[in-house]
Amino acid sequence: MKVLAALSGGVDSAVAAARAVDAGHDVVGVHMALSRTRAEHRTGSRGCCSIEDANDARRAADHLGIPYYVWDLSEEFHDTVVTDFLAEYEAGRTPNPCVRCNEHIKFDTLLERGMALGFDAVCTGHYARIDVRDDGSRELHRAADAAKDQSYVLAVMGPDRLARSMFPLGTARSKAEVRAEAVARGLGVSNKPDSYDICFVADGDTKGFLTRALGERPGEIVDESGEVVGAHQGAYAFTVGQRKGLRLPRPASDGAPRYVTAVDTARNVVTVGPETLLSVRVLAGVDVVWLAPDVPCDRPTPAQVQVRAHGAPASATVTRDGDRLVVDLAEPMRGVAAGQSVVVYQGTRVLGQATLAR
């Protein structure tokens, strides 16, 4: 099989490509250049797509003896992932840019170009498993290593993209195992730190990034009764459940911490209140992507749901109605914000995904 291996410059994608080569596939490596300022240097483990990452990807491809190319997808990345990130925050929602990147770049633009060039599949270093059913259809499952599982951010890919994807690290028992394999193979990226945070906010200052892009918009912070208790420089920079960074001039009357309970960017008002106001029992999702046609959930179905990439799964009953999803939680969940992804599981299997509307 002709396989296009996405090489980020990290240890995971390098070992994944090596395993694809070992499996006998005809592998070609490609590095996705996503940053408009690729000459910038990496800061520790923050960010990605730097000049060091491109060089590390090239060295990995050379070591594996596979062809290597760099594809400039920076405009596509900016016009979809970054633009969506800013628009969602500006609308008072809390997006997950990794979900959007997997949807629009890694398993849309990359896959589309790969198929046009005659490739059969895309191989990445994601930690997730694909199980093939007797009828040839595919199921997406959590990785063997729960600590590294990335099925949450992959759920948005849909069945067609899943059918043309390979995740060779899904069966890895730990990241330590992958690093040890990289050492044994002589791959120079074996000790490279994992990237974290939002890749296009390399300094980790999301609020500063939003302020620079959207500008300051001074407004009021009010409590649950509507009383003004503070001020802000832009409601878009706050998210439901946030406690730090409120800079309120005085504490609540009972001395308890206050949290963001609502963000109204149309009025430019942030509402704060006690922790008890953050708990919800029902979630409503839209833009459903369903991976399990054999489990339609068109009637209340027991399942587990997850609303953060590394959050704990919560027991729930889910009902799917076309492009909408209703989740009735068994126990209240705290600090859930519109814009987050809710992913539905049964055991290790991913059934589908939706974007929280409320």
Distance CA 200, CA 160 (A): 28
Beta partners for residue 353, in sequence order: 289, 343
Backbone phi, then psi, for 178, in 5-degree steps?
-65, -40
Q: How many helices (H) and strands (E) does the chain have?
A: 10, 17
Q: Which of 49, 101, 123, 297 is catalytic?
A: 101
Q: Where are the alpha helices (DSSP H) in the chain?
A: 11-22, 51-64, 74-77, 83-90, 97-101, 110-116, 151-154, 158-162, 175-185, 206-214
CB 131 within 8 A of CB 174: no
H/E stretch holding 131 reads strand 129-132
Pairing status of strand 301-306 against strand 279-290: unpaired
Q: Which of 48, 49, 199, 297 is catalytic?
A: 199
CA distances from 169 to 62, 88, 98, 126, 280 (A): 21, 32, 18, 7, 36
Tell me whether residue 101 is one of the annotated catalytic residues.
yes
Tell me whether residue 49 is one of the annotated catalytic residues.
no
The DSSP 8-state label assigned to residue 196 in this structure reads B
Residues annotated as catalytic are 101, 199
